[in-house]
Homo-oligomer: A and B are copies of this chain.
């Protein structure tokens, strides 16, 4: 059966019953049909208040992965199975995940609701418009853009230099035609001609902001602080100067409230926010994680891409903003992906090879070591494939053990929570052990250059960094503008621990380049760009859109 067939065959329980399991009553839910709900603002506040005392919080389990390969690793599937597995062994576990973008859904990647018997439902709704959060972010983002251009058109009182506008319009689709455009053509009545760029909504600063905002006033403050352009005399312009922040916040009033859905096994899942893990923090909203920590004894959450990107940002950006920290990190790996890191071609991955596995392990080893640098213990979840041999599994377990991380098989895809009970036991044990002595990778008050150096050397394993002179100057400007204590969000390829997608395994002895930097003063971090980062993907030759259909009764096919 395909993922969508399994999901459609599943019988959901009303979301009110799911909420009840974690002590949330019906009057504290805003219903979106029978199976999706947002928490009310009152409930969000009550749970924030509860979680403000550490003793009221559940254990936080962060799922991350080795460096992705075309072989796939199944991180969401393992996260969902682990949540179900914890519930299966009698633990009160809640899952917190990102919401999918429509871009990949109709492009190449498909949906983002797990797979097989480890899925979240209603998967069609979650993969499509869900509760409208991303649509709200798109239109709010584009209203900011329209207001900036309108300000210029209507007299430009602030003296904004149109060539300096850094705020991009967005659409939540893969649409390469909008990557580089010229707007404002047509003459005097139609605006001011300038170069512009659309990004996919999930790569927008506003998505990052939504995922860090804890209240309407926090949200408004962040929107006020967005740097949108410079004046002709080079003064940075904040969006707050346009005095329309209230309107943007009104459009986002529901988007900041967490959404509750369920797994196939009827366990609670908060699905909220979906920022990219390169240009932004790559993990669900702070509000969702806090609500999960306040309602579950164990919380399984996930960070995008591999540990060098998602997990690092989780620790240094999200944990710093939210005052939380993980009790254990689960690193998802597959024998197949490790063999690819060890040099095997994709077509050969079904062939047993302890040699390739051994060689490829160096990638996983780096991630295990990196997690230790945050003072958090790691467990390796081996997402099992039918082609994995006992010998390969045994070797992997041994290699992990030697690095101080227990490796546990996960068969969530085929068996749901039942396939992850062993993993759940080990993870719960480590989470409860008190072994985590969390620390950030770098203190907030270092210079940006020093922060970048620490990231490059400790996490990406470079021998040095090469920051472009213009970027260096911008970093000094940001420091002078009073942003020195912000964390750094490195935008680099997800396909390597380094900046170079071709360097598989464990790159070392290389120079990590930073070609440009951007100030996300609304979200509260500085983006350092290492290499070309695509913030607007394109559709492939055969997009997923070719396979998706719906019949007159509303039955959807081809969505995965």
Which residues does A use to contact B, with CB under 8 Å?
30-34, 41, 102, 106, 128-129, 132, 135-136, 138-139, 142-143, 145-147, 149-150, 153-155, 169, 171-186, 189-192, 195-196, 215-217, 243-244, 246-247, 249-251, 253-254, 538-541, 543-554, 556-559
Chain B neighbourhood of A543, CB < 8 A: 147, 150, 244
Known A30-B33, A132-B132, A185-B181; judge A548-B246 contact (CB<8 A).
Answer: yes
A146 to B174, CA, bound (A): 7
Known A182-B185, A191-B179; judge A136-B129 contact (CB<8 A).
Answer: yes
Closest to A197 in B: B186
B129 touches A146 (CB 8 A): no
A554 touches B41 (CB 8 A): yes
B128 touches A146 (CB 8 A): no
Q: Which of B33, B128, B246 contacts A549 (CB 8 A)?
A: B246
A106 touches B243 (CB 8 A): no
Q: Which of B150, B174, B182 contacts A181 (CB 8 A)?
A: B182
A151 to chain B, nearest CB (A): 9
A405 to chain B, nearest CB (A): 40
A41 to chain B, nearest CB (A): 5
Closest to A544 in B: B247
Chain B neighbourhood of A106, CB < 8 A: 143, 247
Chain B neighbourhood of A191, CB < 8 A: 176-177, 179, 538
A560 to chain B, nearest CB (A): 13
Known A175-B142, A185-B180; judge A216-B552 contact (CB<8 A).
Answer: yes
Chain B neighbourhood of A179, CB < 8 A: 185-186, 190-191
Chain B neighbourhood of A180, CB < 8 A: 184-186, 190
The 8 closest A-B pairs by CB, nearest first: A246-B549, A180-B186, A135-B135, A247-B545, A146-B175, A149-B177, A180-B185, A177-B191
A253 to B556, CA, bound (A): 9
A197 to chain B, nearest CB (A): 9
A522 to chain B, nearest CB (A): 17
A150 touches B31 (CB 8 A): no
Instruction: Name, among A543, A548, A550, A551, the residue most crowded by chain B CB atoms within 10 Å (CB to CB).
Output: A550
Chain B neighbourhood of A132, CB < 8 A: 129, 132, 135
Known A129-B132, A179-B191, A548-B247; judge A139-B102 contact (CB<8 A).
Answer: yes
A175 touches B145 (CB 8 A): yes
B558 touches A246 (CB 8 A): yes
B545 touches A143 (CB 8 A): yes
Closest to A551 in B: B216
Q: How many copies does the complex hold?
A: 2
A357 to chain B, nearest CB (A): 35
A247 to chain B, nearest CB (A): 4
A474 to chain B, nearest CB (A): 23
Closest to A136 in B: B129
Q: Which of B102, B129, B215 contacts A552 (CB 8 A)?
A: B215
A-B contact pairs, 28 of them (CB 8 A): A31-B31, A31-B33, A41-B554, A102-B139, A102-B143, A135-B136, A135-B138, A139-B171, A139-B172, A142-B171, A145-B175, A147-B545, A150-B543, A153-B176, A153-B177, A177-B190, A177-B191, A181-B182, A182-B185, A191-B538, A216-B550, A244-B543, A244-B545, A244-B548, A247-B548, A247-B549, A250-B549, A250-B556
Chain B neighbourhood of A128, CB < 8 A: 250-251
A150 to B182, CA, bound (A): 19
A73 to B102, CA, bound (A): 41
Chain B neighbourhood of A550, CB < 8 A: 216, 246, 249-250, 253
A539 touches B173 (CB 8 A): no
A556 to B250, CA, bound (A): 7
Q: Which of B142, B177, B184, B551 contacts A183 (CB 8 A)?
A: B177
Closest to A181 in B: B183
Chain B neighbourhood of A142, CB < 8 A: 171, 173, 175
B176 touches A189 (CB 8 A): yes
A550 to B247, CA, bound (A): 8
A39 to B172, CA, bound (A): 27
A66 to chain B, nearest CB (A): 29
Chain B neighbourhood of A546, CB < 8 A: 243-244, 247
Known A181-B185, A185-B181, A191-B179; judge A552-B217 contact (CB<8 A).
Answer: yes
Chain B neighbourhood of A30, CB < 8 A: 33
Known A175-B142, A247-B545, A254-B129; judge A182-B184 contact (CB<8 A).
Answer: no
Given contacts A31-B33, A132-B135, A253-B556, 7 further A-B contacts (CB under 8 A): A135-B135, A139-B171, A143-B545, A150-B177, A154-B540, A215-B552, A247-B548
Chain B neighbourhood of A556, CB < 8 A: 250, 253
Chain B neighbourhood of A217, CB < 8 A: 552
Chain B neighbourhood of A31, CB < 8 A: 31-34
Known A172-B139, A253-B550, A559-B250; judge A146-B216 contact (CB<8 A).
Answer: no
B41 touches A548 (CB 8 A): no
Chain B neighbourhood of A190, CB < 8 A: 176-177, 179-180
Chain B neighbourhood of A172, CB < 8 A: 139
Chain B neighbourhood of A246, CB < 8 A: 547-550, 557-558
A194 to chain B, nearest CB (A): 8
